[in-house]
Structure 1
Amino acid sequence: MGISRTLARNKTLRYGVPMMLLIIGGSFGLSEFAQIRYDAFKLRGKVDPALEERIKKNKVTLESEYEKLKDANFDDWKNIRGPRPWEEPESVQEQQR
């Protein structure tokens, strides 16, 4: 009984040991989360070869898109808002047209 009471009063055992366990355990846990992050980054860089071929074929540049929009007439353009979640999409857009 006397030894357990002495150990319970000892500030090093009461506060220091749990703090050291938290710091050391946290570093191991953090390294696991960091490893998951790096593994996901490696997977993100890989692209499907078929998709990569399609990307290479479709050369769309900013200049080509500008040429398409340069001669467009936006004077008679009308803004139509999208439907709200509780409204039916077709009926709202037909009313606005």
Structure 2
Amino acid sequence: MFTLKALRGNKTMKYGVPMLLLIVGGSFGLREFTQIRYDAQKLNRKLDPSLEAKVNVKKQATILEDEYEKIKDVNLDSWKNIRGPRPWEDSKDYQEQQRARQNIKD
């Protein structure tokens, strides 16, 4: 009987143990709720077969030699650096100006 009164009056038993139970139990409960969320997202994420085929093509590994074959014939000495439009400029007007300048120079 004495030990029960002593435990009841102890601050660790009164406040500490319930707090630890809340923290540990909350972590397990939160894990279950987030798992439900991710499972639901996985079910809703089904793609069209045609779109899925395009995505799978992008996932295939590219071989370094194949990429080298693609770019080895590109002439890198005659390239021109063209500035992109500023955020306040209209991009279509700016592109037309750049094309016009390029046509004049050629």
Tell me by how many angstroms 1:72 deviates: 2.4
Identity %: 37
Q: Does 1:22 align with 2:35?
A: no
CA distance in 1, matches of 2:49, 2:83: 39
Tell me by how many angstroms 1:75 deviates: 1.5
1:94 to 91, 97, 105: 97
Runs (4+) of structure 1 exceeding 6 A deviation are none
Q: Could you tell me which residue of structure 2 aligns to residue 4 of structure 1?
A: none
Q: Could you tell me which residue of structure 1 aligns to residue 34 of structure 2?
A: 33
Which consecutive residues of structure 2, in runs of 5 or more, have no partner in the other structure?
A: 1-7, 57-61
CA distance in 2, matches of 1:55, 1:19: 46
What count of residue pairs does the alignment treat as equivalent? Answer: 85
TM-score normalized by structure 1?
Answer: 0.54
TM-score normalized by structure 2?
Answer: 0.51
CA distance in 2, matches of 1:93, 1:35: 52
Asked which structure has the greater RCO (Cα within 8 Å, sep 6+), the reply is 1
Tell me by how many angstroms 1:20 deviates: 0.8
Deviations 1:55-93 (A, max 9, x none): 79xxxx652x64443322221111112222122223377
Q: Could you tell me which residue of structure 1 aligns to residue 50 of structure 2?
A: 50
Tell me by how many angstroms 1:33 deviates: 0.9
The SS at the match of 2:74 is: coil
Q: Which amino acid in structure 2 is aligned with residue 22 of structure 1?
A: I
Q: Could you tell me which residue of structure 1 aligns to residue 79 of structure 2?
A: 77
Q: CA RMSD in A?
A: 3.7
